[in-house]
């Protein structure tokens, strides 16, 4: 009597799946980033569109060139890195610099540590930190949104070839924008003492800044979409904003600024960093207490660097510093095992 062999499939835990796998989570993060990206393109025009495409293409191609394994599952992690990185860049940045930022984000920020799930720092912020240190003039050249010909022409510096000085954008912007100012609202407050108009930083058409700084309200709505679907831990952005608000209320130099607290929370990259950078599952702590501590630390550091640092913005450095401290936060807030004392000894 012939017996058919029985094939057993052995799998590692967990054996009961929650319905969320990595490609699905990545896909919904892309969905959440698309409205912010489209709004930035509407605000800054063709230059913003080309910059987003250049950064995303650079991230995807760099990952494909370094990892030549056809059996490796295809996910959208490189696309997410490209989108979040592009949203942290100024619209006037030359395309080749954006491509360099994407290459560094994937090669040094992600793959050097072992790939998805092994990186210590947020890859997009590694790429931004590299171009911030390498091309400080280009990274601090701002053009307000709403140029009259933003869909028929480009910002002069967009197509600048590599290692060529970008042309000045002041004359171009002055001819196309009323009340042109080459500074972000944060920089205008910090270095010129100019106070922002009431509410214009909450939904800010026409304001200067990075691509992802144009609408704090839209960022919150897109972040809540991920939180409701269980693909983003709401504790992190809430802790970031709480830490920033507490330090502003206790020591902020805003006694004369209308809506000073709202200005701190909604201007610059704090809102985008809180919802889409700090919430990276790989670089965030594991425990609930650790998530609160991590978020509070980012908020306090970001506002500290804003108020008393040399630059007008500090969200990038705050998140990178908090990423470096995540192993210590995990060790400090490690849940107590049942039947053991506080430090792991048997009770």
Report cis status (omega within 30 of 0) of the bond before 14: yes
Bridge partner residues of 340 (DSSP): 346
Place of tokens 């290459």: 103
Specify the pLDDT at position 327.
93
- In-domain check, residue 9: no
For residue 115, what is the DSSP state? Answer: S
Q: Quick one: pLDDT at residue 346?
A: 53
Chain-centroid distance of CA 128 in Å reads 10
- Tokens 């984000």 belong to 105
Q: What is the largest CA-CA distance in the chain?
A: 93
Q: What are phi and psi of 253, to 5 degrees?
A: -85, 55
- How does residue 174 score in pLDDT terms, banded at 50, 70 and 90? low
pTM value is: 0.86
* Number of domains forming the structure of the chain: 1
Tokens 């500290």 belong to which residue? 304
Q: What is the pLDDT of residue 255?
A: 45
DSSP-derived secondary structure letter, 161: P
Dig out the tokens for 39 from the structure: 């709004």
The size of the chain, in residues, is 347
State residue 14's pLDDT score: 57
Measuring CA to CA, which residue among 288, 285, 277, 315 is closest to residue 299?
A: 315
**Does a structural domain hold residue 15?**
no
Q: Is the pLDDT of residue 343 over 60?
A: no
Q: Read off the tokens for 238.
A: 């809430």
Pull the structure tokens for residue 210: 């990075």
Q: What is the pLDDT of residue 257?
A: 55
| Three-state DSSP class for residue 117 | coil
Measured distance CA(246)–CA(237) in Å, rounded = 14
| Angle between the N-to-C axes of helices 315-332 and 123-134, in degrees from 0 to 180, rounded to the nearest 10 | 140
207: CATH:
1.10.3430
- The number of C-alpha atoms within 13 Å of 191 and in the hemisphere containing its C-beta is 13
Instruction: Give the residue numbers spanning the domain of 236.
Output: 23-332
Reading phi first (left if > 0) and then psi (alpha if -120 to 50, else beta), residue 183 is in beta
Give the whole-angstrom CA distance, residue 287 versus residue 109: 24
Instruction: Name residue 346's beta-bridge partners.
Output: 340
**pLDDT tens digits, one per residue of 226-282:** 999 988 999 999 999 999 999 888 876 654 555 677 888 888 889 999 999 999 988
Nearest-angstrom CA–CA distance, 218 and 271: 10
- Would you say residue 288 lies in a domain? yes
pLDDT of residue 347: 47
Q: Is residue 53 part of a domain?
A: yes
pLDDT tens by residue, 71-103: 565 778 899 999 999 999 999 899 999 999 999
Is 64 domain-assigned? yes
């Amino acid at each position: 009597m012939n017996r058919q062999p029985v094939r057993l499939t052995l799998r590692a835990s967990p054996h009961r799946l929650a319905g969320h796998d990595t490609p699905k989570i990545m896909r919904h993060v892309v969905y959440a980033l698309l409205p912010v990206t489209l709004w930035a393109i509407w605000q800054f025009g063709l230059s913003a569109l080309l910059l987003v495409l250049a950064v995303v293409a650079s991230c995807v191609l760099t990952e494909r060139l370094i990892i030549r394994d056809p059996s490796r599952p295809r996910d959208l992690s490189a696309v997410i890195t490209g989108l979040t990185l592009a949203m942290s860049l100024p619209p006037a940045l030359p395309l080749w610099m954006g491509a360099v930022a994407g290459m560094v984000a994937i090669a040094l920020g992600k793959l050097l540590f072992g790939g998805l799930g092994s990186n210590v720092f947020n890859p997009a912020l590694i790429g931004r930190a590299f171009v911030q240190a390498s091309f400080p003039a280009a990274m601090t050249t701002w053009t307000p949104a709403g140029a009259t010909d933003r869909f028929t022409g480009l910002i002069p510096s967009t197509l600048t070839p590599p290692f060529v000085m970008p042309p000045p954008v002041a004359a171009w912007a002055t001819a196309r924008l009323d009340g042109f100012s080459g500074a972000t609202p944060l920089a205008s407050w910090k270095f010129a003492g100019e106070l922002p108009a009431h509410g214009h930083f909450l939904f800010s058409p026409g304001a200067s800044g990075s691509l992802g700084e144009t609408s704090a309200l839209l960022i919150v709505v897109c972040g809540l979409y991920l939180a409701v679907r269980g693909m983003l831990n709401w504790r992190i952005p809430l802790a970031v904003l709480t830490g920033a608000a507490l330090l502003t209320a206790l020591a902020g130099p805003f006694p004369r600024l209308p809506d000073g607290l709202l200005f701190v929370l909604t201007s610059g990259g704090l809102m985008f960093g809180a919802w889409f950078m700090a919430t990276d599952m790989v670089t965030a702590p594991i425990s609930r207490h650790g998530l609160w501590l991590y978020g509070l630390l980012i908020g306090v550091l970001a506002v500290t660097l804003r108020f008393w640092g040399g630059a007008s913005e500090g969200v990038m450095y705050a998140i990178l510093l908090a990423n470096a401290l995540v192993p210590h936060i995990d060790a400090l807030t490690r849940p107590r095992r049942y039947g053991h004392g506080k430090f792991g000894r048997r009770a």
